[in-house]
Amino acid sequence: MNESEKRRKNLLNQTRELYSERRSLPAVHPRYRSLHSKLYGGEEEQEEKFSVSTLSLRVFICLILFASFVLADYRGSTVANISSERIVQEIEYRIDIREMWNNL
């Protein structure tokens, strides 16, 4: 490689770094990294990388609750003195909003 090719390659690499969407933190002493992240927004990028959805956990809990309800209904058992019929009654109960506000 001659000098002009090296220079062209170096300029190409600099241009790629300039317009690249990948941003990295500059060399910051570990003691000041937290402060630098708060000032310049590096913390938001890290939160986006490590954000975890809890949808699967919530769906799993709902399925377990529904399965336990169906099992209690099938067996006719009660949990904490509450039967499946009572749960259905509470779900179907209609609340009168005006009466509730008057009681408050």
> CB–CB of 83/72 below 8 Å?
yes
Residues 6+ apart with CB under 8 A from 68: 79
Comparing CA positions, the residue from 13, 47, 43, 10 lying closest to residue 28 is 43
pLDDT of residue 24: 65
Tell me which residues of the chain have a pLDDT lower than 50. 43, 46-47
Residues 6+ apart with CB under 8 A from 83: 72, 76, 77
SS3 81: coil
**Rounded to two decimals, what is the model's pTM?**
0.41
pLDDT of residue 43: 47
SS3 78: strand
pLDDT digits (tens, 9 = 90+) for 9-23: 888 888 877 777 666
pLDDT of residue 66: 92
